[in-house]
Amino acid sequence: MGGTPLPYVVYFHSLVLTRVLGQVSSTLVMDLVGRGVALRSAGSQRDLGHAVTQAIIERVFDIVLPLMMLAWAILAWQGKVDAATATASFTLVCILFAAMSVVMLAPLTALALRIYAALRRFRARRKPTTIPATVPPPEPALEPIVLPRGLALRIGLLSLARYLTVLGQFWTIAVGVGISITFFQIAAATPLGQLAGMAGFTPGALGIQEAGWLGAFTWVGLDAVSIGLFVLSQRLISTLYFSILSLLSWLLLRRTRAATERNR
């Protein structure tokens, strides 16, 4: 995206911190705006609009895989296919998504940056002629971004790995609290739960994500007690998980900054 290069720990801390804050504020707003504010405070020279543009690209790209998995779930579950066919078709969807990322990400990034540059020009024309007492440093020039296919493929594979890891996390939570559920069931239900969470504008997507899980698990045949147990356990474990990660990343970030100051 051509943003200011920052250490990995800065991005990691910004991500997990906004996830924690999203539990007590709007998840959607934190995803789109909160991370940009965090990066600006960490030294990024790009304005908030650049960070929001990047977050929107991520959100659009992140929606693609759950939608593909939802289509797979509808066809596989409604068609009552056997386990071998379900596994083979699931694998095929994963491969198709990775291939799509190669041809999808470059034009998506280019379009987003053109829109962002046009908004910058529009904003510059509307600026008042009077000079404020404190003039902020100018934002770096926005150079055209060429996204190599190899990088696009790596992004797609990382997105796929993240989705599969989250799916495994949900399955582990369900099994850990004593719910009898197959991989086929959790794989069919997860897309609805994920999409509901992405659409959440309430604190922590509260109520919206739960409704998504309720509909998804009812569809795949779980009883009300199991659904309630999973929803509560998932909410508690995820909040605790990101809280611990936020603390650890903050300690690591503070250590990194201290080392940078010593080396100056």
Q: Is residue 200 pLDDT above 70, yes or no?
A: no
Spatial contact of 144 and 182, defined as CB atoms under 8 Å apart:
no
What pLDDT, on a 0 to 100 scale, did the predictor assign at position 174? 92
- Which distant-in-sequence residues (6+ apart) come within 8 Å of 74 by Cβ? none
Residue 133 located in a structural domain: no
Average pLDDT of the chain is 81
Spatial contact of 62 and 187, defined as CB atoms under 8 Å apart:
no
What pLDDT, on a 0 to 100 scale, did the predictor assign at position 168? 92
Residue 197 located in a structural domain: yes
Residue 112 located in a structural domain: yes
Q: What is the pTM of this model?
A: 0.77
Count up the domains in the chain and report the number. Answer: 1
Residue of 150, 189, 169 lying closest to 69 (CA atoms): 189
Residue of 116, 126, 109 lying closest to 48 (CA atoms): 116
- Across residues 247-264, what is the average pLDDT? 78
What pLDDT, on a 0 to 100 scale, did the predictor assign at position 167? 92
Residue of 231, 235, 225 lying closest to 212 (CA atoms): 231
Q: Which domain holds residue 89?
A: 8-127+141-263
Residue 135 located in a structural domain: no
pLDDT digits (tens, 9 = 90+) for 219-249: 988 999 999 999 899 888 888 888 888 888 8
Residue 38 located in a structural domain: yes
Residue 134 located in a structural domain: no
Spatial contact of 127 and 193, defined as CB atoms under 8 Å apart:
no
What is the share, in percent, of the chain residues with pLDDT greater than 70?
84
pLDDT digits (tens, 9 = 90+) for 113-131: 777 777 777 777 776 555 5
What pLDDT, on a 0 to 100 scale, did the predictor assign at position 194? 86
